[in-house]
Chain A
Amino acid sequence: MIIVFITVVFFALALVGLPLLYALLLTTFATLWWYGLSHPLETILLTFIGGVEPFVLIAVPLFIVGGELISRGGVGKRIVAFAHTLFGFLPGGLGVVTVFACLLFGGVSGSAIAGSAAIGSVMIPAMIKRGYSPGFAAALVAVAGTLAVIIPPSIPLLVFGFVSGASVRDLFLAGIVPGILFGIGLMVVCVRYGLATGCDRGGERASPREVWIAFKAAFPALLMPVIILGGIWFGVFTPTEAAAVAVVYGLVISMFYYRDIGWRELPALVLKAFVTSAVVMVVIGATAALAWVITVEQVPMQVTQWVKEVTDSRWMFLLLANVVMLLLGVFIEPLPALILTAPLFVPLATAYGVDLVHLGLIMTCNLAIGLYTPPVGGTLFVAAKLAQAGIAKVSYALIPMFLVTLVVLLAITYITALPMGLVWLMR
């Protein structure tokens, strides 16, 4: 029953507000002491250090730096302008533009909060001015911003690849179709909203010339995902190397081409990105220490056996994975949630014949939903603040978007070919 002990102790410590890093370490120490396990603390701390050391994880801070560089300046605005020339004419057009801009932005950045902030700061005022309710505008940006962690490059998918051993290249491929499906679902909600409320009946189509001008202005930013993802998929470089390329490309574009960022801003930007990533990395390391104890004590094997006894159906297992991740995502940020549960879910997925790439994608999509599920959540707060809307109003506007999201979630869970089609094609 070690797993029950660990779960209870960890949640008790985390819920009273002990930072996750220390809650994890203390849970590890408490487990050793309570069960009289004789692993020396030095061994545990060596796994802690070993957990932050791997070369592949260097991609995490580097992708954060790259995303910061490209999103700090006017890239969000240029992407929005381009999306507007394409979709501005539709009913609910500004909403559709918001969703499409978030999809494009997701190809540049792997962070949901950055996505909501960059697109939301431009689109939320524009939508409110047009007559959209602040609640709807905030809800839409809170949901659409999370497309950034589903569309590659994605920091949660990268970290899942590390903890599970699944190929990051495949995970990045698997995110594309689900990301687009979530986007289309949201666009339908927007069109319906535009027609039903009459606030945005659409406008005139942009001329091909206007589309071309907007495209040219956004082109260097749009080229970034092509270089990074193309490079990874065609084996030119590893994800870690791609992250370094993203930093250098972002630096060149935003300092010398767009001239949005100057030398003086670089130290703060680098520091912020590395501290942000360190906060995540120490939790990864501490989880590695706890996971080591769990594995040495053969807990994943026991859990797999129990779940196998309850049900033999792959269908039920996938449902269970969805429910657990949805609930967990309401309380915990995606990255720690992924790292905590991966050691348990990975052997289960293998036992039920679920591809680890598929599992990682489902887990990430569920945890992304947690980012905007009331009462608390990263993108929910960013968007509500930008719209100056109360959480209750935003929650009400979220209902149709939740329904659409759940439909897409079920589809990508049970129609394996949706996320995995591209992976099979490129394997």
Chain B
Amino acid sequence: MRRLLPPAPPEPAPLRLLGELVDWAIVALGAALVVIVFVNVVMHQLDLDIAWTTEFGEFVMVWTTFLGGAAAARRRGHMAITELRDHLKRGAGRALRLAIELTVAAVLALLVWYGASIVQASWGNILTVLDWPMAWQYLALPVGAAIALVYVLRDVVLLARGGDLVEAPEDVS
């Protein structure tokens, strides 16, 4: 089963399991998104629009985005200007990298905390067509941020133990 997915950096088994769970959720949601939008194109041609396509599409989009952000954190694939970071000598470079990862962890902790507060406040708001509480949609932010935080902390531990962080080669444009 693992061979079906692109590789991630080496990591302890529980983290790998979590990562693969996230990966498969993204694949499933992504496939669902393609099917929904395409079926709606066909229905559209037959003058039979599906009312919930937009709401459901946006719901899935929010979840794939924040889970995708967590999957990118696991592969150290977030967009960054790496020139300075990579050209510093080992000691200084490592200290800078540690400072960066700790800052990222702090921001992610804020996202989890305030994201949870948004979720709590929005159980009463209901999506018009789907009739689901908005909280389900907003949940994607704290959940995605919490999973990303796990992998950032993995990197903090790795750096503190004297290891090096290697980016998984991903092309983004």
Contact = CB atoms under 8 A, between A and B. Distances in A.
Given A42-B121, A62-B34, A267-B4, A19 B26 contact: no
Contacts of B67: 278
A331 B81 contact: yes
Interface stretch (B9-17, B103-111, B156-164): B103-111
A276 B172 contact: yes
Given A55-B58, A275-B75, A247 B38 contact: yes
A57 B107 CA distance: 25
B171 A279 contact: no
Nearest to A45: B114
Contacts of B79: 19-21, 279-280, 283, 333, 336
- Contact size class for B? 35 or more
A48 B141 contact: yes
B128 interface: no
Interface string B56-68: 0110011011111
A334 B172 CA distance: 10
Nearest to A146: B173
Contact of B104 (A14, A19, A46): A19
A243 B33 CA distance: 11
Which of A48, A52, A274 is packed against the most chain B CB atoms within 10 Å?
A: A274
B77 A275 contact: yes
Interface centre among A45, A46, A272, A336 (most CB of B within 10 A): A45
B122 to A, nearest CB: 9
A202 to B, nearest CB: 33
A364 interface: no
A17 B84 contact: yes
Contacts of A26: 103, 107
Q: For the complex, would chain B's binding face be called helix, strand, loop or mixed by DSSP majority? A: helix
Nearest to A26: B107
Nearest to B121: A42
A41 B81 contact: no
B27 A61 contact: no
Contacts of A334: 173
Contacts of A294: none
Contacts, number: 199
Given A16-B100, A17-B81, A276-B170, A61 B110 contact: no
B6 interface: yes
Could you tell me the dominant secondary structure of chain A's interface residues? helix
B69 interface: yes
* A49, A273, A285, most chain B CB atoms within 10 A: A49
Interface in A34-82: 41-42, 45-46, 48-49, 52-55, 57-58, 61-62, 65
A260 to B, nearest CB: 18
Contacts of B29: 274
B27 to A, nearest CB: 5
B88 to A, nearest CB: 9
Contacts of A247: 34, 38
A14 B83 CA distance: 11
Contact of B118 (A45, A241, A285): A45
A61 B30 contact: yes
Contact of A273 (B30, B37, B83, B96): B30
Given A49-B138, A271-B30, A21 B69 contact: yes
B71 interface: yes
25 contacts: A15-B81, A16-B96, A18-B80, A19-B80, A20-B79, A22-B103, A42-B121, A45-B118, A45-B141, A46-B138, A48-B141, A58-B58, A58-B61, A62-B34, A65-B34, A113-B173, A155-B173, A237-B44, A241-B37, A241-B41, A245-B41, A247-B38, A280-B79, A281-B68, A282-B66
Given A62-B37, A275-B26, 19 more contacts: A14-B80, A17-B84, A22-B103, A22-B104, A22-B107, A52-B61, A55-B57, A240-B37, A241-B37, A241-B40, A244-B34, A245-B41, A247-B34, A267-B24, A274-B68, A278-B26, A278-B69, A281-B69, A283-B79
The 5 nearest A-B residue pairs measured at CB? A278-B68, A17-B85, A244-B37, A19-B78, A244-B38
